[in-house]
Amino acid sequence: MNFSYTNVFRFFFALVDLLVVNIIHLMLMLTLDRVQGADSQKYTILFIVNNVAWLASAYLTGLYINDQIFNYERFAKRTIQAFVLFTITLLFFLFLYHFSYSRLFVVLNFTGIGAVLVITRISFIWGGEYFRKKGRYNKKIIVLGYNDVSRALVKHFATYNKTITVEGYFEDYENVNELTFFPVLGMRKDCVSYAIENNVMEIYSTISPERHSYVYEMAQAAEKNMIRFKFVPDFRMFVNRNIHVDIIDSIPILSLRSEPLEDIAASTKKRFFDVVFSLLIIATILWWLVPLLAILIKLNSRGPIFFIQLRSGKNNKAFKCFKFRTLRVNADSDSKQVTRDDNRITALGKFLRKTSLDELPQFFNVLLGDMSVVGPRPHMLKHTEDYSRLLNEYMIRHYVKPGVTGWAQVSGFRGEIKEPEQLRKRIEHDIWYLENWSLWLDIRIIFLTLYVTLKGDKNAF
């Protein structure tokens, strides 16, 4: 789909969704008797919060970004995420704002917005499928070469791009020794002539032009006939793994992984969320829990209230990590890992560790900027030194800030490490997180953390 069409649909949906939020609110204000007799100023404030909450939710979930609109499944998923975040934000406002809004108004507001979102998305998908079948916005492509790269490319188009119809491959028959779902339409040399005769709009070449110079001639012949010719390089000849490609002033830059948080906008978004969330936890929980636990910790055993330990942070810079003290004061705390039934754990400490309450002071670390709400868990300096010798990929986890909770922890890889395989699995999950970060993933991990904690984590001791 052309970029300008994509932008049109982005702004169209953004405008329609915002109009839906406003029109439903105004209609309810004008038609519900119990609202008309209430304080109109309070409902005007709710009207403003409605708009801000929806815009923030759409932005934080990436609802209107370029590559989402014509991926129906992803667009629907992002719409659900935005609506859930919008609902949570609005309910949180209603909880904090001391005014008795009409319950009927609130329910109808959520129901109306949700219903119209469903209707507009279904209409868009049906309309898109209709025009695709009619060929209005559909384009036919062919692929030059039959190999691992071409198969992966065709699979992607067939699965995710509903505006593209793959006609098939062009490959010399001696290079094809298996049945294919998409047909081999002819020899390589017949590629351009087939495209001209069958109104094919694009040719994707997975054949290296450096090894086969005739590919350049085919590209020129295609462009003379208004057919776009695109080269698909196989970078695996340089790096034998999945890689990430950035384009800087037309120069391709290869890196070993995608890192969403290297983008300034993404890192700013994450930091903003961290600050707001940590302030919320401090203002609602820690202000009364810290004094209460301080008294209990002092009564339970001798020693300080907090356990402060140097741990490895982003870029392997050490920082002071805060926890409620759960062990008796001992000389091995900076070198010896806590084990199940460790005799150093106090009676109260066992409860704090089992419920993860001992980790809550780390929200002060989040506020200070040393940690994030979600990220790889910080290890003590000695463990970082030891584990980095065991696993080559270990230090990659320090590309991002450590977290109060993390993807590895909610996936069952928390606690004592007895075998190298446990460490490898934890690091795999940490690296997956930094390669696939999104704000929605952070929110998902937070809810999973609550679920695992309430259910009881066998690795928490």
Please give the full DSSP string across 216-276, using - where no structure is assigned.
HHHHHHHHHTT-EEEE---GGGT-SS--EEEEETTEEEEESS--GGGSHHHHHHHHHHHHH
Q: Residue 35: pLDDT above 70?
A: no
Please check whether residue 231 lies inside any domain of the structure.
yes
Q: Residue 341: pLDDT above 70?
A: yes
> Stretch 142-170: mean pLDDT, rounded?
86
Q: Which of 195, 229, 256 is the last residue of a domain?
A: 256
pLDDT single digits (tens) 55-89? 888 888 878 775 545 567 778 888 888 899 999 98
CATH code of residue 232? 3.40.50.720
Asked if residue 159 and residue 240 are part of one domain, the reply reads: yes
Domain holding 176, by residue range, is: 139-256
Asked if residue 174 and residue 88 are part of one domain, the reply reads: no
- Residue 196: which of 168, 166, 226, 216 has the closest Cα? 226
pLDDT score for 25: 86
C-alpha span between 59 and 52 (Å, rounded): 11
14-18, 115-119, 410-414, 416-420: which range is least confident on average? 416-420
Asked if residue 315 and residue 430 are part of one domain, the reply reads: yes
116-130, 339-353, 434-448: which range is least confident on average? 116-130
264 vs 128, more confident: 264
pLDDT score for 1: 44
> Stretch 392-402: mean pLDDT, rounded?
91
Angle at which helices 287-300 and 347-355 cross, to 10°: 150
Asked if residue 238 and residue 272 are part of one domain, the reply reads: no
Q: Which of 223, 256, 289 is the last residue of a domain?
A: 256
pLDDT score for 407: 94
Asked if residue 166 and residue 73 are part of one domain, the reply reads: no
pLDDT score for 240: 55
Please check whether residue 461 lies inside any domain of the structure.
no
Percent of the chain topping pLDDT 70:
87
Asked if residue 69 and residue 172 are part of one domain, the reply reads: no
Domain count, the chain: 3
Asked if residue 186 and residue 270 are part of one domain, the reply reads: no
Residue 213: alpha-carbon gap to chain centroid: 42
Please check whether residue 416 lies inside any domain of the structure.
yes
pLDDT score for 321: 95
Q: Which of 237, 256, 275 is the last residue of a domain?
A: 256
Residue 105 · residue 37 · CB < 8 Å:
no
pLDDT score for 297: 92
Asked if residue 114 and residue 201 are part of one domain, the reply reads: no
pLDDT single digits (tens) 99-126? 778 888 889 989 999 998 888 888 877 7
Q: What is the overall mean pLDDT for the chain?
A: 84
Q: Residue 228: pLDDT above 70?
A: yes
Residue 442 · residue 412 · CB < 8 Å:
no
Q: Residue 258: pLDDT above 70?
A: yes
pLDDT score for 66: 55
Q: Residue 136: pLDDT above 60?
A: no
